[in-house]
Amino acid sequence: MSKVKKKWMGAGLLSAFAASLCCIAPLLALIAGTSSAAASFSWVEPLRPYLIGLTVLTLGFAWYQQLKPKVEEVDSCGCSTEQKKTSFMESKGFLGIISIFALVMLSLPYYSDIFYTNNSPKTIVVDAANLSNTKINIVGMTCSGCENHVQQTLFSQEGVVDAKASYENGDAIVKYDKTKVDLETLSEAIEKETGYEVGEIEKLKH
């Protein structure tokens, strides 16, 4: 495979990775069990459509280079030269693997929730007088992967009955037993474990 085709393939992979960076960071943090710097990559989200387009363009050109008719090479006598054996790195199969990997990366925001197992409402007996319903504004969420990361963080806190985050609204609605956990603890957990910034907090009706 020529250096030009390799560069196009590399550019396609790089742009696919960059387009999904905001979702990859929370997943890496979840796997490693550490706090996430996902909020640091929120600037990538507005560029996502362009990065997806760049991925399609670069890999499309690589496929064009792979599938276009080969020009038969001849020596100085006008005789056909024997073609060298194609390596796996130069094959359609390898380019296919690269293309599938790029597709998996680009679609990550749509299936990342499968990696978050603790995102379901809990069955907890709570006195109605102790149940609090609160909206926490969160700065830095850019995709469904961010939502799942926030929800998993909230559900890991004792006393949280339900939590629903929305990157579109930039908030999380949390129901919790105020005798077991307080808003300061929930806010600190969000900021420490996800890297997102907590903004205004609003008490809601049950």
Q: Which residue has the higher pLDDT, 5 or 182?
A: 182
Are both 156 and 58 inside the same structural domain? no
Amino acid 80: pLDDT: 52
- What is the domain count for the chain? 2
DSSP 8-state secondary structure symbol assigned to residue 83: P
CATH of the domain at 123: 3.30.70.100
Amino acid 40: pLDDT: 58
Are both 98 and 170 inside the same structural domain? no
Are both 20 and 86 inside the same structural domain? yes
Residue 2: both structure tokens together: 């020529």
pLDDT score of 106 more than 70: yes
pLDDT band of residue 202 (cuts 50, 70, 90) is very high
Amino acid 51: pLDDT: 80
pLDDT digits (tens, 9 = 90+) for 108-134: 777 777 777 666 666 667 788 889 999
Give Cα separations from 113 to 26, 49, 145 (angstroms).
Answer: 11, 21, 6
Beta bridge partners of 131: 177
Are both 159 and 188 inside the same structural domain? yes
Residue 135: which domain range?
Answer: 116-204
pLDDT digits (tens, 9 = 90+) for 34-50: 555 555 566 666 677 77
pLDDT digits (tens, 9 = 90+) for 123-167: 667 788 889 999 999 998 888 778 888 998 999 899 999 999 999
pLDDT score of 97 more than 70: yes
Are both 100 and 122 inside the same structural domain? no
The residues, ordered by sequence, that sit 6+ positions from 16 with a Cβ below 8 Å of its Cβ are 51, 52, 55, 101, 102, 103, 105, 106
pLDDT score of 192 more than 70: yes
pLDDT digits (tens, 9 = 90+) for 9-36: 777 777 777 767 666 666 666 555 555 5
DSSP 8-state secondary structure symbol assigned to residue 91: S
Amino acid 162: pLDDT: 92
